[in-house]
């Protein structure tokens, strides 16, 4: 499974970025290989549609799950149409957010509401 986590840094101990479309970077964590890559968010400074473009870019990378603090409704529609599950986290680090997902402690985001605990 490929998990994209919005972050402000380049490592697993980097802080989570609460923004989705304007996140500085994303760590793409592969649960099968237990490795990750860091990508810069090219939409960080976009005048309009940063969330939509970021969602499209991550969908092209075939991520299965996204962990972020917030996600706008238009970006969420794109992600849901791409069968990408979006989880809300307020973890202090990327690694802690991944661990919360593994432990089933994160809530899945939906366009209208937030569900109860979802499993990894």
Q: How confident is the model over 1-18, as pLDDT tens digits?
A: 999 999 999 999 999 999
Among candidate residues 65, 6, 54, the one with its CA nearest the CA of residue 32:
65
pLDDT of residue 112: 53
d(CA 38, CA 70): 20
Q: Does the 2-117 domain belong in CATH 3.30.420.130?
A: yes
Confidence of residue 24 (pLDDT cuts 50, 70, 90): very high
- What average pLDDT does this structure show over 102-107? 95
The strand order across the sheet containing 25-30 reads: 35-40, 25-30, 2-7, 65-68, 85-88, 107-109, 114-117
How do strand 25-30 and strand 35-40 relate by DSSP bridges? antiparallel
Q: Is the pLDDT of residue 115 over 60?
A: no
Q: How confident is the model over 41-90, as pLDDT tens digits?
A: 988 777 788 999 999 999 999 999 999 999 999 999 999 999 999 999 99
Q: For residue 37, what are its two tokens?
A: 């890559």
């Amino acid at each position: 499974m490929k998990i994209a986590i919005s972050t402000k840094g380049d490592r697993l101990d980097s802080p989570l970025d609460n923004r989705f479309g304007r996140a500085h970077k994303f760590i793409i964590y592969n649960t099968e290989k237990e490795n990750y890559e860091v990508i810069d968010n090219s939409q960080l400074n976009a005048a309009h549609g940063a969330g939509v473009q970021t969602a499209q870019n991550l969908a092209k990378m075939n991520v299965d799950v996204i962990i972020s603090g917030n996600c706008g409704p238009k970006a969420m529609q794109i992600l849901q149409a791409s069968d990408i599950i979006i989880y809300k986290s307020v973890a202090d680090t990327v690694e802690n957010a991944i661990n919360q997902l593994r432990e089933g402690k994160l809530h899945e985001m939906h366009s209208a509401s937030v569900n109860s605990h979802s499993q990894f």
